[in-house]
Structure 1
Amino acid sequence: MKYKDNFAQRFMNSFMGKREEIKEEVKIPHIRKILKDLINVSDDKWGLYAFRREPLKGKFSEDKKLELIEKANECGRKYAKKIRKENGDITVYEIAKNLGVEVDYPQRPNGGGNIIFAQFVNPNKVTVFKDSVNKAFDLIEKENLEDLFNNVNIEEILLAHEIFHYIEENNGKNMFTQTETIRLWKLGNFKNDSNIVCLSEIAGMAFAKELLNLKYSPYILDSFLVYLYYPKVAYDLYREIMDIVRLS
């Protein structure tokens, strides 16, 4: 079984999984407070957060999860360093061009009411939807949040993450995120091995973080970008990761 996750799918999974749970009125902290807390979350905790969305999460011990998280992060960093070495100190937009990635910037997805921020479409197309990018820019400017993002454009983070999925598609046979599998069953000569979905996302976040020299995990966008549309849902995602930090 092989499955490609991306910002679009993962955000919608988070959104749909939390939407019905929030029924009581809650006082949502200021977005600066939310972001400052999220920025301080370590990469291993974000990995545990990602594993909560893993379809096969019940098959791994906590120690095994942490081992896989570390390897996925290292995979992402490794390929970011490789790309930097090959391309030098250029922008992520120039990197995309050098790799042959076509980047499209429609305002919104065609059809449906789903929130989609960015996606990779095989073989070489990345789509970044401007509606969410523009809303993010407006909120950052309005609330003076530039310092929290190290003055890195949200669009660059989204693009960098999806570039990783492009690299993964072209190097999958050699990449940890695709070679690491779990055996679901074996009967005689027949077997069923599955990829571990969340490893691709964890590595993609590590890739974007290393490539853009960020001081925080791009996973903070899970809450921040959803906040632009559904603050209560974003707050619930924020509480989830803070609970992981508190309990682990």
Structure 2
Amino acid sequence: MSVSAEKIASLIDMTEALRTVDDETWGFYAFSADFLNNRIPDEKKHEMIRKSIACGENCADRVMKEAGDSSPSTIVRQLGLEVIENDFPMTGNRKVFAQFTPPKQIEIFKDPLKRYESLLARASEQQASLLIPLQEIYNLVLGHEIYHYIEECNADTIYSRAEKYTLWRFFGFHYNTTVNALGEIAGMAFSRKLNHVAYSPFLLDVLLFFDYDEEQASAIFQKIMHMKEHI
């Protein structure tokens, strides 16, 4: 078995395992990257995760009903969003595949998609059938950014933005802040429902990072699976 074939086999194994990860685990994974992670009690996180998932799913239902379609590309057109693509390489350990910039721009980073496409090209037909198709991944990334647009338009009322956490209190003063993890959790739930997939799009953090740094992608995978066993 060649090195590339071994890499692909490893990616297949991780993909299959990540498909089985439950929503609570993915929620705690999202919180692990939030600066409030150690401030918020686990009981409160469980509540926030459930509400964020419901927020994303309900939002997807409304959007699909209004659009009469679940295709992210169709919804982008109907919402008047501009989608641009660039080839800038992803640097460091920051897993960014796209970003929404107000008021109406979505930027897709093509380099991680091209690297994943290259992995698929090196796979056998049978191996490729066990991995997630490139177009499906593109749609998942796009769907997630559509949610961030909707979130921005409804910042005062949508749960993932309206929910606040009290960071500190001092006499009669207090400081409330938004929780970034909630938007990520809701965005993944939104995109999952929009694209009619059973797994969480959070697994793209491993799939699209794999060709950049296999060792680091494996470490992320192990972290997620450890969370699955201990949450």
* Category of TM-score, reference length = shorter chain: 0.7 to 0.9
Shift of 1:153: 2.1
What is the aligned partner in structure 1 of residue 105 from structure 2?
Answer: 125
Paired position in structure 2 for 1:87: 67
Of 236, 245, 248, the residue aligned with 2:219 is 236
Deviation string 1:29-85 (CA, Å, 9 cap, x unpaired) is 711001000010011110011111121112222221111100000100011111100
For residues 209-228 of structure 1, the aligned pairs below 5 Å read 209-228=192-211
Matched, 1:46 2:26: yes
Moved more, 171-180 or 83-92: 83-92
CA separation in 2, counterparts of 1:63 and 1:192? 21
User: How far apart are residue 173 of structure 1 and its match?
Assistant: 0.8
Matches of 2:110 and 2:129 in 1, distance apart? 19
CA contact (8 A) 1:136 1:154 kept: no
Q: What is the alpha-carbon distance in structure 2 between the residues aligned to residue 44 and residue 119 of structure 1? A: 24
Does residue 142 (structure 1) correspond to residue 125 (structure 2)? The answer is no
Q: Which residue of 1 aligns with 2:42?
A: 62
Which residue of the other structure, out of 54, 66, 76, is the alignment partner of 2:56? 76
Structure 2: how far apart are the matches of 1:212 and 1:191?
41
Q: Is the 8 A contact 1:118 1:126 kept in 2?
A: yes
Task: Answer whether contact 1:119 1:128 (CA < 8 A) is retained.
Answer: yes
The equivalent position to 2:80 in structure 1, one of 89, 100, 114, is 100
SS of the aligned residue for 2:174 comes to strand
SS in 2 for 1:64: helix
Q: Using the TM superposition, give the Cα deviation of residue 97 of structure 1 relative to its aligned residue in structure 2, in angstroms.
A: 1.0
- Deviation per CA, 1:91-123, whole angstroms, max 9, x where unpaired? 2111111111100012226xx945642111111
State how far apart, in whole Å, the 1-side matches of 2:43 and 2:17 are. Answer: 25
TM-score (norm 2): 0.88
Whole-Å separation in 2 of the counterparts to 1:52 and 1:217: 16
Structure 2 residues without counterparts, runs of 5 or longer: 1-5
SS in structure 2 of the partner of residue 127 of structure 1: strand
Identity fraction in percent: 32
Indicate if the aligned counterparts of 1:136 and 1:228 stay in contact, CA closer than 8 A: yes
1:9 aligned partner: none
Match of 2:99, SS state, is strand
Q: Which runs of 5+ in 1 are unaligned?
A: 1-26
Distance 1:233 1:246 in 2: 20
**How far did 1:189 drift?**
4.7
- Pair 153,146 (structure 1): closer, same or farther in 2 beyond 3 Å: farther
Alignment of 1:133-172 (within 5 A): 133-143=113-123, 144-149=127-132, 153-172=136-155
Residue pair 2:140, 2:201 contacting (<8 A) in 1 also? yes
Separation in 2, partners of 1:184, 1:39: 34
- Tell me the C-alpha RMSD between the 2 structures: 2.1
CA distance in 2, matches of 1:216, 1:148: 12
Q: 59-68 or 149-158: which moved more?
A: 149-158
Deviations 1:109-149 (A, max 9, x none): 6xx94564211111110011222112222323433334443
Question: What SS does the aligned partner of 2:208 have?
Answer: helix
Mapped to 1, the partners of 2:91 and 2:35 lie a distance apart of 24
**Structure-1-length-normalised TM-score:** 0.82
Offset from partner CA, 1:147-166 (integer Å, 9 cap, x none)? 44377521111111111101
Contact 1:76–1:204 (CA under 8 A) maintained in structure 2: yes
